[in-house]
Amino acid sequence: MNNKKLVMIPGPTPVTRSIQDQMGRETVSFKDQDFIGDFKGVVKDLKEMWRTAGECFVIAGTGTLAMEMAIANTTKRGDQVLVVSHGYFGDRYIDMCRRRELEVDVLSSEWGKIVPVENIEKALGEKDYRVVTITHVDTSTGTKAPLEEICKVAERFENTLLIVDGVCSTAGEREFVDDMNIDILLTGSQKAFGVSPGLALLWASEKALERRRSLGTRSGFHWRFQRSGEGSERNVENRGGVFCDCRNRNPGNGDGHRKYHEKRRSGSCCLPWILW
């Protein structure tokens, strides 16, 4: 059978042979020192490349999961959110935010056109938005938002975090988190990264991390109906790339977990931010 397929869409994109070969390696444990070293290296490199002193999260999932992570970690019920939509994926944030019981205002463009930056500036000045979302390139129409201009405008609104959906742009377009004052940038591995589908990537600025801390315990736990492995002795969890077999975890309370590892001064897991 001929397995060769040429995909010529924004994503998933073709994956080079060398990456395919790596994906065929033997499975390793998430506690394997080589894996831990590799994972930490990836996160460090991603933080450097997208220039943030904040944090980068690499989790098993889709771009949509990263979209939801961004919202879930920065808002609470009743918060005002401004969604700037240039098409299908921009609109996805409307539904997502309403489901989280946020107060959503929408600025939509005619498909194929952009929402003028002046309109975004005007809207931001009218309410105390906690978050504004923007899709850098909306795959449905190919519309590219003037991100640098939008970042400059958003920077003036201190209480408003700028969330940028980069699923169709990150690694293909200019996006530097701290330099451009992006608060959260998110993408999936299957597009301009040229890696196979399955990883969601999210960069959070210090300001976004501070917002997360200020919200305290959040509901939800890796979108479970039921956490897999619950009740099993070791309770091994895949926190989406942040792997942990720590029995001392207090779900929803990052502090308890963190303190445990500080005391232990080791651990095969832990990034300092909890997902939800």
- Binding residues for ligand PLP, rule: CB under 6 A, are 62-64, 89, 135, 138-139, 165, 167-168, 188
User: Tell me, what DSSP letter sits at residue 168?
Assistant: T
Q: Which is nearer to ligand PLP, 142 or 229 (CB)?
A: 142
Torsion, Cα 86 87 89 91, to 10 degrees, reads 90
Q: Is the CB of residue 242 less than 8 Å from the CB of residue 273? A: no
Q: Is the CB of residue 57 less than 8 Å from the CB of residue 65? A: no
- Report, in Å, the least distance between residue 63 CB and ligand PLP: 3
Q: Which is nearer to ligand PLP, 63 or 240 (CB)?
A: 63
- Report, in Å, the least distance between residue 135 CB and ligand PLP: 5
Outline where DSSP puts E strands in the chain: 55-60, 80-85, 103-108, 131-135, 137-138, 143-144, 161-165, 184-188, 199-204, 237-239, 242-244
- Report, in Å, the least distance between residue 227 CB and ligand PLP: 22
- Report, in Å, the least distance between residue 13 CB and ligand PLP: 11
Could you tell me which of 268, 272, 270, 205 has the C-alpha nearest to residue 33? 268
Q: Which is nearer to ligand PLP, 222 or 249 (CB)?
A: 222
Q: Which is nearer to ligand PLP, 194 or 267 (CB)?
A: 194
- Report, in Å, the least distance between residue 145 CB and ligand PLP: 11
Q: Which is nearer to ligand PLP, 89 or 276 (CB)?
A: 89
Contacts with 118 (C-beta within 8 Å, 6 or more apart), sequence order: none
Longest pairwise C-alpha distance within the chain: 60
